[in-house]
Structure 1
């Protein structure tokens, strides 16, 4: 979870403050949703941890779509954030899928 916390801190630093709404905070909210569905974070409404691979994949697919559609229009920091988040989420998803197949 240290990677999740590091990415969150970086996105908050880019945002300038936590209450601003910008591309980085939007991307981070989608990534957080994926982490909740991957069972890496507690659901904020229920406080429970559960795995929902279908919704996790949907959040990852949305991030992938945004990466494709915004290509060439992001700052270097935003592009790096999206790439790192997608890599981390994809690896976690693959790991969880493999664990559930065994």
Structure 2
């Protein structure tokens, strides 16, 4: 049960990173521009996809906890690529937000890789059909 608490904290930390990024922008003299809003949305979108693929939150399409490490790796790799390609073009708040998000995701990815593959869930209606 402690593990799920850690995962919950990691997910909350990602949300907290988003809020910290937004708070810094609001409190600074800079105004939010459309690109900064889109950047935060892009990072959050890939992060959410990765959390779902890691099996840390329910898949909104199937309403089930599902783990797909290949999909998780893809989402994390996309964020890594954004970080490499954007380089010095990111503000300090954007850089911190992206680094924090990536750190949380990579840590959880490594932890999930250590676990055995989950047993496929059998739908109760399928079980009833297969019984003699």
Instruction: Bin the TM-score by the shorter chain.
Output: 0.7 to 0.9
1:5 corresponding residue in structure 2? 12
- Check conservation: 2:17, 2:100, Cα contact below 8 A: no
CA-CA distance at 1:100 after TM superposition: 2.1
Between Structure 1 and Structure 2, whose CA radius of gyration is higher? 2
CA-CA distance at 1:47 after TM superposition: 1.0
Quick one: structure 1 residues 6 and 23, their matched pair in 2 at CA, closer, same or farther if it must change by over 3 Å?
same
Q: TM-score, normalised by structure 1?
A: 0.85
The equivalent position to 1:39 in structure 2, one of 40, 50, 55, is 55
- C-alpha RMSD of the superposition: 2.0
- Check conservation: 1:37, 1:51, Cα contact below 8 A: yes
Q: 1:4-40: per-residue Cα shift (whole Å, max 9, x none)?
A: 1232244256187xxx942012101100100000000
Q: 1:18-76: per-residue Cα shift (whole Å, max 9, x none)?
A: xx942012101100100000000111111110100000000010000000011101111
Which ranges in structure 1 are unaligned for 5 or more consecutive residues? none
Aligned residues: 98
Which ranges in structure 2 are unaligned for 5 or more consecutive residues? 1-7, 27-35, 118-132
Q: TM-score, normalised by structure 2?
A: 0.67
CA-CA distance at 1:2 after TM superposition: 2.1
Note the 1:47-58 alignment, pairs <5 A.
47-58=63-74
Does the alignment pair 1:89 with 2:96? no
